[in-house]
Structure 1
Amino acid sequence: MLYQLAFPEVEMSVVPVDCYGITRDNWHMQEYGVDRVFGELARCGNQFVGDIKEYLKCQK
């Protein structure tokens, strides 16, 4: 959503890759994978709260 906000005319594709031995098929099978995935999710959510609220036109 944030990329779309900054570059609305660009079409983007997301392609998962094997990184640190974590893949889309095994991330949930070990604590390290779960920590990495949810850590990234938390960082994304916390960094862009204001931008995403503006994008969604949330009322206060």
Structure 2
Amino acid sequence: CQLHTKAMLRLKGRITRLMSGLPNPPVKKSESKEQEFKSKVKKSGQKRERMKDEIYSNSG
């Protein structure tokens, strides 16, 4: 999905910035941390839903 590619691009940018030795702007850092956390929560939620679906289909 589009959001994932954007995150990857940002991550790449951060890595190149680290390699070049420039400091990260703190605002962007906290922003990406929050997004990271949100995506993690979303992923775990999807996993849980998938597991539920599997359980229901198996019991049915």
Which structure has the bigger radius of gyration? 2
Q: Which interval holds the TM-score relative to the shorter structure?
A: 0.3 to 0.5
Q: TM-score normalized by structure 1?
A: 0.39
Counting helix residues as a fraction of each chain, which structure ranks higher? Answer: 2
